[in-house]
Amino acid sequence: MKKQLLSLLLIAQFGFGQSGVPANPYYNGMNWTLTGMNLKSALATKITTTHTNFLTYSQDWNATQATDLNPTNSNNVLLLYGFSSTTCPSSTSDDNDHRERNSMSNGGGNSCEWNREHVYAKSLGTPALVDGALSSADSDAGEDAHHLRSCDVDRNGNRGNLKFAAGSGDSSPVTGGWYPGNEWKGDVARMMMYMYLRYPSQCLPINVGTGATVSTDTNMIQLFLQWNAEDPVSLYEDNRNTYHGNTTNTFAQGNRNPFIDNPYLATVIWGGPVAENRWPTVFLSSQSFLAENAVSIYPNPTNSNEIEIATEEEITKLTLVSINGQIIKEIVNPIFNQNTYKINDLPQGFYFLQINAEKGSLTKKIIVN
């Protein structure tokens, strides 16, 4: 428990990388106390500055053949929007609905081949995405491997540039657009969130999806938040992310999709349905966070070896931890007197105070002189 709590507090306050969650050193330096548009901006900076290898469109073939492999059959790639397990060609099934195909059957002119689906349809970008850049200076969203997925040639054509819309069951055209299918809707949502952060003016969610928008960010649609929560991350998605985050891989971009690493980041940024939280030691509350001004601590710094905590929130636990990870005090269901609680006999030092309440949690720094 000490190690987990220390990880939470150090990451939250200073962004130190830990061997725990988030395990990948990719997130060193992130400040996990940020929420809303501040967290969105910080993640956008992270995925942009770490995008160091700009792939050409021909190299995207190689990347897709490496990243889109079926975790249970490494000879085949999984096909976005696919759902049938029959073999192509087949007399009993539409040949464009297959879920996987041999990884070497890539192309574009045969109904039993697969090609690269621009999940953010090129024509919907502002400006439209291109996929024939000559150099990294010209490269844009059209060649970003994080939204290029293997897809049946014909099914790719069926989707075309239709916007994503609500539906159920297998992938198909629906009123108002294209439903990607129950298995793929979370993948689509997380890709669209990544593209929005990476290309914030070119790849707006409202241009590629339908439905109501989020009140705090009118470029984000609620449908993607719903899909992100309803369809958890798969091993297939994790494998893609791991490949691109490792710059020793020849066709890796160097950056990751944070919403695959933890779908709950979308909840912290935009709210909506609560998505899977894969970093419980970073985000202790699965529902919400207390506002910074919801709790006051005074005096801070203190010269009297004591502090008073003032709040109108229903506090369930107070945990004081030293910079070295030692739990100094842990007070369950503290009894407040006129909305204040005093902690005394504090030794000199620097501390983190984790405040858990009915409505969420908050971490404060404490200095005892």
Distances (CA, A) of 86 to 81, 90, 261: 15, 7, 32
- The answer to whether residue 12 scores a pLDDT higher than 50 is no
pTM, two decimal places: 0.73
Q: Any residues with CB less than 8 A from the CB of 26 and at least 6 apart, and which? A: 46, 50, 245, 256
- Which residue in this structure is represented by tokens 């059957």? 105
> Within the chain, which residue ranges are assigned CATH 2.60.40.3080?
292-368
pLDDT at 20: 32
Angle at 202 between CA 199 and CA 203, to 5 degrees: 70
Is the torsion defined by CA of 127, 52, 132, 107 positive or negative? negative
| d(C-alpha 324, C-alpha 244), whole Å | 34
3-state helix, strand, coil in the chain (%, to 5): 30, 25, 45
Note the pLDDT tens digit of each residue in 163-221. Answer: 999 999 999 999 999 999 999 999 999 999 999 999 999 999 999 999 999 988 999 99
pLDDT at 79 over 90: yes
pLDDT confidence bin for 362, thresholds 50/70/90: confident
User: Between residues 88 and 209, which one has the greater pLDDT?
Assistant: 209
Across the chain, mean pLDDT equals: 86
Show the tokens assigned to 153: 């040639």
Least confident of 225-229, 232-236, 351-355, 360-364: 360-364
Q: Which range (120-134, 213-227, 353-367) has the least confidence?
A: 353-367
Question: Is residue 269 scored above 60 in pLDDT?
Answer: yes
pLDDT at 34: 83
Closest CA to 279 of 236, 243, 233: 233
Angle at 130 between CA 129 and CA 136, to 5 degrees: 110
Query: What is the Cα Rg of the chain in Å?
Result: 24
**More confident position, 302 or 139:** 302
Q: Residue 324: its pLDDT value, please? A: 61
Greater confidence (116 vs 364) lies with 116
pLDDT of 1 higher than 50: no
Taking only the tens place, the pLDDT of each residue in 43-57 is 999 999 999 999 998
Per-residue pLDDT at 16: 30
**CATH, range 292-368:** 2.60.40.3080
Segment 144-168, tens digit of pLDDT: 999 999 999 989 999 999 999 999 9
State residue 285's pLDDT score: 46
